[in-house]
Protein backbone atom coordinates (compact mmCIF):
# COMPACT_ATOMS: atom_id res chain seq x y z
CA UNK A 1 0.00 0.00 0.00
CA UNK A 2 1.44 3.32 -1.09
CA UNK A 3 1.20 6.17 1.40
CA UNK A 4 0.82 9.63 -0.07
CA UNK A 5 2.07 12.76 1.61
CA UNK A 6 -0.51 14.92 3.25
CA UNK A 7 -0.55 18.59 2.47
CA UNK A 8 0.13 20.74 5.53
CA UNK A 9 -3.07 22.50 6.62
CA UNK A 10 -2.97 26.26 6.12
CA UNK A 11 -6.00 28.01 7.59
CA UNK A 12 -5.12 31.20 5.67
CA UNK A 13 -6.16 29.42 2.47
CA UNK A 14 -9.74 29.27 3.78
CA UNK A 15 -10.06 32.99 4.42
CA UNK A 16 -10.39 34.03 0.80
CA UNK A 17 -13.15 36.63 1.04
CA UNK A 18 -13.35 39.85 3.06
CA UNK A 19 -16.55 38.51 4.65
CA UNK A 20 -14.85 35.29 5.79
CA UNK A 21 -11.92 37.22 7.24
CA UNK A 22 -14.18 39.69 9.07
CA UNK A 23 -16.38 36.92 10.46
CA UNK A 24 -13.35 34.97 11.69
CA UNK A 25 -11.92 38.04 13.42
CA UNK A 26 -15.31 38.85 14.98
CA UNK A 27 -15.48 35.37 16.51
CA UNK A 28 -11.97 35.62 17.89
CA UNK A 29 -12.56 39.14 19.26
CA UNK A 30 -15.73 37.94 21.02
CA UNK A 31 -13.67 35.39 22.95
CA UNK A 32 -11.47 38.22 24.25
CA UNK A 33 -8.13 36.38 24.42
CA UNK A 34 -5.37 38.83 23.36
CA UNK A 35 -3.06 36.02 22.21
CA UNK A 36 -5.79 34.57 20.00
CA UNK A 37 -6.55 38.01 18.56
CA UNK A 38 -2.86 38.52 17.71
CA UNK A 39 -2.70 35.06 16.12
CA UNK A 40 -5.91 35.70 14.17
CA UNK A 41 -4.56 39.01 12.86
CA UNK A 42 -1.43 37.17 11.75
CA UNK A 43 -3.50 34.54 9.95
CA UNK A 44 -5.71 37.09 8.20
CA UNK A 45 -2.69 39.21 7.22
CA UNK A 46 -1.11 36.12 5.65
CA UNK A 47 -4.39 35.34 3.87
CA UNK A 48 -4.44 38.83 2.35
CA UNK A 49 -0.71 39.06 1.75
CA UNK A 50 1.57 40.18 4.56
CA UNK A 51 3.49 42.65 2.36
CA UNK A 52 0.33 44.41 1.19
CA UNK A 53 -1.10 44.64 4.71
CA UNK A 54 2.20 45.91 6.11
CA UNK A 55 2.48 48.59 3.43
CA UNK A 56 -1.12 49.75 3.95
CA UNK A 57 -0.60 49.80 7.74
CA UNK A 58 2.58 51.86 7.40
CA UNK A 59 4.93 49.24 8.87
CA UNK A 60 7.61 47.03 7.38
CA UNK A 61 6.78 43.47 6.43
CA UNK A 62 9.41 42.21 8.86
CA UNK A 63 8.02 44.45 11.59
CA UNK A 64 4.52 43.13 11.01
CA UNK A 65 5.72 39.52 11.16
CA UNK A 66 7.49 40.31 14.44
CA UNK A 67 4.55 42.21 15.91
CA UNK A 68 2.02 39.50 15.03
CA UNK A 69 4.40 36.61 15.72
CA UNK A 70 4.41 34.23 18.67
CA UNK A 71 6.21 36.64 21.01
CA UNK A 72 4.64 39.79 19.60
CA UNK A 73 2.68 42.21 21.74
CA UNK A 74 1.24 44.79 19.33
CA UNK A 75 0.22 48.19 20.61
CA UNK A 76 -3.43 49.05 20.19
CA UNK A 77 -2.58 51.75 17.65
CA UNK A 78 -0.83 49.10 15.54
CA UNK A 79 -3.82 46.77 15.83
CA UNK A 80 -6.10 49.56 14.61
CA UNK A 81 -3.80 50.31 11.65
CA UNK A 82 -3.67 46.59 10.74
CA UNK A 83 -7.47 46.30 10.86
CA UNK A 84 -7.75 49.38 8.65
CA UNK A 85 -5.15 48.00 6.24
CA UNK A 86 -7.18 44.80 6.00
CA UNK A 87 -10.30 46.77 5.16
CA UNK A 88 -12.04 45.58 8.32
CA UNK A 89 -13.89 47.91 10.66
CA UNK A 90 -14.02 47.33 14.42
CA UNK A 91 -17.39 47.85 16.08
CA UNK A 92 -18.64 47.63 19.65
CA UNK A 93 -21.77 46.11 21.12
CA UNK A 94 -22.95 45.32 24.64
CA UNK A 95 -21.37 42.14 26.00
CA UNK A 96 -24.73 40.41 26.51
CA UNK A 97 -26.10 41.38 23.10
CA UNK A 98 -27.35 38.70 20.80
CA UNK A 99 -25.39 38.42 17.56
CA UNK A 100 -26.81 40.59 14.80
CA UNK A 101 -28.59 38.79 12.03
CA UNK A 102 -27.41 39.60 8.56
CA UNK A 103 -29.90 41.37 6.35
CA UNK A 104 -31.28 39.29 3.54
CA UNK A 105 -30.93 40.91 0.14
Residue 80 lies in a domain: yes
Q: Evaluate whether residue 55 is within a structural domain.
A: yes
Evaluate whether residue 100 is within a structural domain.
no
Is 32 within a domain? yes
78 in Cβ contact with 45 (< 8 Å): no
Q: Is residue 29 part of a domain?
A: yes
Alpha carbon distance 103, 27 (integer Å): 19
> How many structural domains comprise the chain?
1
Between residues 95 and 21, which one has the greater pLDDT? 21
pLDDT at 100: 61
Q: Would 50 be classed as within a structural domain?
A: yes
Among 17, 15, 60, 18, residue whose Cα is nearest residue 40 = 15
Residues 72-99 have pLDDT tens digits of 999 999 999 999 999 999 888 888 766 6
pTM: 0.80
Q: Give me the domain span that covers residue 36.
A: 16-85
Amino acid sequence: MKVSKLKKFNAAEHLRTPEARAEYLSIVLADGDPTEVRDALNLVARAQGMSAVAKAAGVTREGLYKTLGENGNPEFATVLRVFGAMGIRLTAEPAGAKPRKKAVA
